[in-house]
Chain A
């Protein structure tokens, strides 16, 4: 199959960028979207041109390294990561726009690569448990209700790719922060620091220049890990509770 790509090219953080058009043919519908970029880059390199820079690592949808906005959707039309998106999701001959995550907190490094350190700093503000835990404890030592375990698991599925921010009309990181707050706050290991965690992670999120949540719900629709939207409400509940307590 053949696709016309319009890819965001930007040589550096301060350089002006533009959408460059590339015709790529001889593609298989079974290729992943990143393999499409590999094919394009191979041809660009052979022609003496600079290949398109993009982030990628595991290519099996679990690391959160890859991420690009394909036809206006974070990670493209399928509810998965860009590496797990396949060309069968596109029509032969389709024009496909490929852009980096757009957010003030995610400055473009080059082409489709953005700096997502802002998310790491939100984690650094409290997305961990400070108690030294030693080696893995006996599994039944601390009982956890099944419903809590399920909720913590659902939130812990976040791979930190930043698609929620890219998809949000307000550029908000509320879904990411909520997932990271709640998966610890829900469990007994994280509970003692629950108040401090939510207050400090939310203030770190605001300090990074992310927008505010207006409940548009685009984040949860774009999330490749299926983080549910109500997790934001749970974070808000924890936040309000924490501000009321001394």
Chain B
């Protein structure tokens, strides 16, 4: 859980920062999208870097999901009889890890069909990433799906970072507070950094 989560978190930070290039206009953003396909050239063929990255991310997603499934199965087996007196345990971010993760997995499928393959995108032309993004966030459902997913992401990261650090034995008594602050800070930065794009499209800052 911890290692695969860290891999995906590192990718998300790069992804979020890359998205912000949309504020420099269509040429710059589409040029950036094109550059991503040329990373590693001439050693790597066109687009190979992206495919290697996708393979790595897919492995991380699958292993993360399998580990989560196993943990959930173990938890169910460890408490066959539930308490009659129910009460909300732990904080919201912790309680929503499992369903939040499912929401994020479903979002990733939609997100790939929308902005990678263009299948469900209203514009959907390869090489025109900027126009595709504007088209998605021109629809109410595009904004709704994206907004919910990014809030789920923030909650997931808020609990996930600290939990991962504890699993890897990094969160000592002294490091605990710093890691908690890092988790919350990173969750806020990622959610805000990702959400600023649809907000910009909605307010016509990006069009």
Q: Is A192 an interface position by the 8 A CB rule?
A: no
The answer to whether A103 and B79 touch across the interface, beta carbons within 8 angstroms, is yes
Contact (A105, B85) CB under 8 Å given A216-B94, A233-B165, A237-B169: no
How many Å from the CB of B67 to the closest CB on chain A?
Answer: 9
The answer to whether B71 and A212 touch across the interface, beta carbons within 8 angstroms, is yes
Contact with B along A223-246 (1 / 0, CB 8 A): 000001110111111111100000
8 Å CB contact of B166 from A6, A69, A215: A215
B71, B82, B84, B165 interface centre (most CB from chain A within 10 Å):
B84
Q: Is B141 an interface position by the 8 A CB rule?
A: no
A43-51, A52-60, A135-143, A167-175: which one contacts chain B? A167-175
8 Å CB contact of B78 from A97, A210, A239: A210
8 Å CB contact of A72 from B80, B85, B90, B170: B85
Nearest chain-B residue to A169 (Cβ)? B89
Contact (A233, B171) CB under 8 Å given A99-B85, A215-B94, A218-B89: yes
Contact (A239, B169) CB under 8 Å given A169-B75, A170-B75, A211-B77: yes
Give A218 to B89 CA distance when docked, in angstroms.
7
Give A48 to B207 CA distance when docked, in angstroms.
81
How many Å from the CB of B100 to the closest CB on chain A?
Answer: 13
**Across-interface contacts of A215 in B (CB, < 8 A):** 94, 159, 162-163, 166-167
Contact with A along B62-84 (1 / 0, CB 8 A): 00000000110011011111111
Q: Is B42 an interface position by the 8 A CB rule?
A: no
The answer to whether B168 and A236 touch across the interface, beta carbons within 8 angstroms, is yes
Q: Is the interface of A mostly helix, strand, loop or mixed?
A: mixed
Nearest chain-B residue to A235 (Cβ)? B169
How many Å from the CB of B111 to the closest CB on chain A?
Answer: 26
Nearest chain-B residue to A239 (Cβ)? B169
Q: Is A203 an interface position by the 8 A CB rule?
A: no
**Across-interface contacts of B81 in A (CB, < 8 A):** 102
B79, B81, B83, B163 interface centre (most CB from chain A within 10 Å):
B79
The answer to whether A211 and B78 touch across the interface, beta carbons within 8 angstroms, is yes
Interface range, B side? 20 to 34
How many Å from the CB of B120 to the closest CB on chain A?
Answer: 34
Interface range, A side? 35 or more
Nearest chain-A residue to B80 (Cβ)? A104
Nearest chain-B residue to A210 (Cβ)? B78
Q: Is A71 an interface position by the 8 A CB rule?
A: yes
The answer to whether A103 and B85 touch across the interface, beta carbons within 8 angstroms, is no
Nearest chain-A residue to B71 (Cβ)? A212
Please provide the chain A residues from 193 to 221 with a CB less than 8 Å away from any CB of chain B in the complex. 209-218
Q: Is A19 an interface position by the 8 A CB rule?
A: yes
Nearest chain-B residue to A98 (Cβ)? B85
Give A90 to B110 CA distance when docked, in angstroms.
50
**Across-interface contacts of B204 in A (CB, < 8 A):** none
Q: Which 3 A-B pairs have the closest CB atoms?
A: A237-B169, A171-B78, A211-B78
Extra contacts besides A72-B86, A211-B75, A218-B89 (7): CB < 8 Å: A69-B83, A69-B85, A104-B78, A215-B94, A216-B89, A233-B169, A236-B168
Pairs A–B under 8 Å by Cβ, sample size 14: A72-B87, A97-B85, A105-B78, A171-B79, A214-B97, A214-B163, A215-B162, A215-B166, A215-B167, A218-B89, A218-B90, A230-B171, A233-B165, A241-B169
